[in-house]
Amino acid sequence: MLMTSERAGNGNRPRLRYIVAGISVALMVGLLILLGWGLQNTNAPQPEAGMAPTFSLTSFDGETLALEELRGKVVVINFWASWCIPCRAEADELEAMSRKYRDDVVFIGVDYADTEKGALKFIEEYGLTYFQGPDLGTRISADYRIRGVPETFYVAKNGELRGVKIGPLSPGELEFKILELLDDR
Amino acid sequence: MKRGALSILAAGILVLLPQTLLGQESAPSDDQVNEIASDLYCPVCPNTPLDVCETLACSEWREQIREQIAAGMSESEIADYFVEQYGERVLAKPRTSGFTLVLWLLPVVGIGFGVLALAGVLRKWRREPDAEAVVAPQDQEGSVSAEARQRIEEELRNLS
């Protein structure tokens, strides 16, 4: 009886070894896939062309806006934060352009990694009237792969991305780009 | 006149004293703020705990934590708020739920498999000397001294 059970135990040992080896290999493969996915995500380039990543943003006042619903209009998406010094340099121009092209261009201010108190103070300080909302969970900035603030993305009437400006806007640069996109049929 | 002034002073103290005490209670100390901030990372400066981060943004976040403590929010509620605002990456310790559970389980599973593999190797090492012990007498057969071999042969001859 003892011999039978010993024999059965010895017979099971190679099978157990195969199971352990199989699980180890599966774990290693899984880890490699995760590593590859992480590396791909980290090194993926910033989108500058193709369809603009869609998102919906809830403003500090509680209104919600979806990018998809803005087809037919030029959209300017500006990522900013109250702690960002260069964002202050372009705030007045963004507001002036949003007022000038109110009927044809939608301006969206995406507040990146900020405190609500700081953001609201910034909006009040510069008298910003265009749509402003916090990037909750920094999901929108992750989709647009921003490297910092400020960054400004231009979206054509058909929803395609038509360029990005990394850093503060130069005087006249924003209007030049808006006119170019408005001419685009 | 004097009595009137004293009454006003006493009334003033009675009005202001509870407010002062209340103010002291609702103003959390730096230690309280840093205790929570040490479990959070700055959302914009890579790998910098919030309690030691020196940027303007971090001081605003610490101030926010102070206000949240004063408002009666618990440590986990503040952490939840930070995750909602800035994502899971602000947590110094990944949560033990959802996909991040893998991060906690993976080392345990890895160690488990390491122990199994080590046990297998040790068992193999233990088995190898036994095998030698079985083989050794056969190998040593040829190394019997000439004197002993002669005695054995004599004994065999006597038997026949």
Residues of A in contact with B117 (CB under 8 A): 20, 24
Q: What is the pTM of this model?
A: 0.70
A45: exposed, middle or buried (C-beta count within 10 Å: 0-12, 13-18, 19+)? exposed
DSSP string, A33-91: HHHHHHHHHHHPPPP-SSBPPP-EEE-TTS-EEEGGGGTTSEEEEEEE-TT-HHHHHHH
Q: Are A83 and B56 within 8 A, CB to CB?
A: yes
- Provide, for chain B, the percentages of residues in helix, strand and coil under a 3-state DSSP scheme, each rounded to the nearest 5: 75, 0, 20
Task: Answer for the pair A51, A159: CB distance below 8 angstroms, yes or no.
Answer: yes
Categorize the per-residue pLDDT at B27 as very low, low, confident or very high, splitting at 50, 70 and 90: confident
Q: Are A115 and B64 within 8 A, CB to CB?
A: yes
Task: Answer for the pair B68, B78: CB distance below 8 angstroms, yes or no.
Answer: yes
Q: Are A115 and B109 within 8 A, CB to CB?
A: no
Kindly list the residues of chain B whose beta carbon comes within 8 Å of any beta carbon in chain A: 43-44, 55-57, 60-61, 63-64, 83-87, 106, 109-110, 113, 116-117, 120
Q: What are phi and psi of B98, to 5 degrees?
A: 65, -145
Please name the residue of chain B whose CA is at the shortest distance from the CA of residue A133: B85
Closest CA to B44 of B34, B35, B36, B54: B54
Q: Are B60 and A27 within 8 A, CB to CB?
A: no
Closest CA to B79 of B22, B125, B38, B28: B38
Task: Answer for the pair A95, A80: CB distance below 8 angstroms, yes or no.
Answer: no
Q: Which of A115, A120, A135 to mutate to test the interface with B (most CBs of B within 10 A)?
A: A115
Categorize the per-residue pLDDT at A45 as very low, low, confident or very high, splitting at 50, 70 and 90: confident
Q: Are A31 and B117 within 8 A, CB to CB?
A: no
Q: What are phi and psi of A122, to 5 degrees?
A: -65, -45
Minimal CA separation from A170 to chain B, in Å: 24
Average pLDDT, integer, range A36-50 = 78
Predicted pLDDT of residue A39? 75
The partner residue sitting opposite B86, judged by closest CB among A24, A113, A117, is A113
Please name the residue of chain B whose CA is at the shortest distance from the CA of residue A117: B64
ipTM greater than 0.90 = no
CA distances for B73 relative to A38, A176, B60, angstroms: 34, 48, 17
Q: What are phi and psi of A57, to 5 degrees?
A: -130, 135
Whether the predicted pLDDT of A31 surpasses 90: no
Predicted pLDDT of residue A17? 75
Average pLDDT, integer, range B37-61 = 93
